[in-house]
Amino acid sequence: MSTLITIKEKLWSDLDVEATLDAPIGRMTWYETGGSAEVLISPKSSNALQLLCKRCYESEIPVRVLGSGANLLVADDGIDGVVIRLNQPAFQETRWNDSQSDTPTRIGAGADLMGLVTESARRGFSGLSQLAGIPASIGGAIRMNAGGTYGDTAQSIHSIEILTMSGEFRTIAATELNFGYRQCAIPAGIIIAAHCNLCASDPIALRAHVKEVFEYKKRTQPMSDRSAGCMFKNPIDPSTGKRESAGKLIDLAGLKGKTSGGAFVSDKHGNFIGLHASGCANDVLALAIDVQQQVFEHSGIQLEREVVIWSQRGAFQ
C-alpha cells in the first residue's frame, strides 16, 4: 500500500463505512469497462458521510459519487481521490405517504429509479411513470434531470436534501434548482434525498402508462447493447432556435454503424454508442469525439455529451 493511500485511509478508518482500495468501478458502469478508483467508499449513515466529506474537503481530496453507472464512462486510466456510493439502506429508504396526504414522499438518493417507478405505480401514486425504463439512482436522475419523450424528473420534484462538500446539510426547493433540459443548478455537494410530489391515482392506469413508456423505449432504443444511453444531448439548431434530435443529426451524417476499435454507433439509434466485449473505454471516447467532429462538419451543429466521463487526466471532463 502506498504512503499516499495510507495517509488517506485515516480519513475513513474510524467511520462506519465499507471501503475498497483500487476499486474496479469501470466494471460497475453499464459499459462494464474502464479503470479503477483509488478508493470506493459506501457510508452506512449520514453522519459517516458528513464526516468523510468534511475531511476530504479540508484535505483537498477530490470526491465523486457513483450512482447506478448508467450515464457514466470511466476512462481506462482510472481516477484518483474518493468515490462515494450511496448503496447502503440509510440512503435508499423511501417513506411512502398515505394516499390522502399531500406531504411529499421522501426518497433516498441511492434508491433505484426503475424500482421506484414500478412500486409507485403498484401503490397508485402518479408522478414517476414518465421515467419508466430509465436506469438511474434517484440522485443521479435529479442531477441530470433525466427524462425522455414522456417527461422528465423535474416535474415531480418538490425539494432535495444535499450535503455540501464542506459537510453542511441543506434543503433546496425545486424552484431554486432552475431545472432545464438535462440539467439543474445544484450547488457543489451530494444529493442525499429527494422529496417528490406523488399523487394518488388509478393503479391500473398507471401500470398501463409505465408499460406504454417502457415499450416505446424498447422499440426505439438498443436497450440490450452495452452502452450508457444517449451519448449526446439534443442540441439547439442555431438557424431555427429549436432543439434538434442528436440521433437524427448523426444519422444524416451517415454515421450509423461507424466503429472505432470495439465501439460502434448503433444501427437502431444513432445517439447510442455501444461496446463489444473486446472493446475498451478509450474506444468509446475516440468514437464519440469522431462523431462530434463529423456531425459538426456535416451540419455546423456542435454536439454536447450527455454521458459523463471520469478521467485521471481530466481531459474529458
Is the distance from CB of 163 to CB of 53 less than 8 angstroms? yes
C-alpha–C-alpha distance, residues 106 and 281, integer Å: 36
58 noted as active-site residue = no
- Whether 272 contacts 230, CB under 8 Å: yes
Q: Does 122 participate in catalysis according to the annotation?
A: no
CA distance 5 to 91: 27
Contact 302, 296 (CB under 8 A): yes
Q: Write down the catalytic residue from 56, 184, 230, 280.
A: 230
- Residue 266 is classified by DSSP as -
306 is catalytic: yes
Q: Are 36 and 76 in contact (CB under 8 A)?
A: no
SS3 at position 311: coil
- Residue 39: in which H helix or E strand, if any? strand 37-43
Residue 234 region, left (φ>0) first, then alpha (ψ -120 to 50), else beta? beta
CA 262/CA 66 separation, integer angstroms: 25
Q: Determine phi and psi for 143, rounding to 5 degrees.
A: -60, -40
The answer to whether the CB of 79 falls within 8 A of the CB of 312 is: yes
Rounded CA-CA distance 225/267 in Å is: 11
Residue of 182, 184, 226, 305 with catalytic role: 182
Block residue for cell numbers 449520514:
46
Q: Any idea which residues carry the catalytic annotation?
A: 182, 230, 306
